[in-house]
Amino acid sequence: MNTSISISLDIRRRKKDGTFPIVLLLIHYSKPLTIHTGYSVAEKDWDNKKRCIKKSFKGLESVTRLNNLIDKQKSEALDIIMKLDEKKNSFLVYR
C-alpha cells in the first residue's frame, strides 16, 4: 500500500480567532490530500513531535478525550483505506 496518513496542524490556514485547523494529512502515491477534523487550536497548544494537543491547552475539560477523538478519525480513515486496498487486490485476483 502506497498510502500514509498523519495528524497535523495546518499552519498555512490561520483562522480569524488565531487558531489553526487540525487535519489528517493523507499521502497517496506522493500526492497529498488534507482532511479536516473539525477541530482547531493555537500553535502554542500543538505538540508537533507527538502530533497531538498539549496537556496545557485550556480550551476544554479533557484534552485526552479530544486527542482520542482525533486518533479515532485517523483510525477510521486508515480502515477505509485498507478496505479499498483489499477490494482493489481482490478485483485484480478475480480478473
> Where do the domains of the chain lie?
3-94
Residues 11, 49, 25, 76, Cα dihedral to 10°: -130
The three-class DSSP label of residue 43 is helix
Looking at residue 58, its pLDDT comes to: 85
Nearest C-alpha neighbor of 7 from the set 89, 27, 42, 19: 27
Taking 50 as the pLDDT cut, the residues of the chain under it are: none
Looking at residue 90, its pLDDT comes to: 63
Looking at residue 25, its pLDDT comes to: 93
- Asked if 77 and 5 count as a contact pair (C-beta separation under 8 A), the reply is yes
Looking at residue 93, its pLDDT comes to: 55
- Can you give the pTM of this predicted structure? 0.81
What is the Cα–Cα distance from 7 to 91, expressed in whole angstroms? 31
Phi, psi of 10 (to 5 degrees): -85, 90
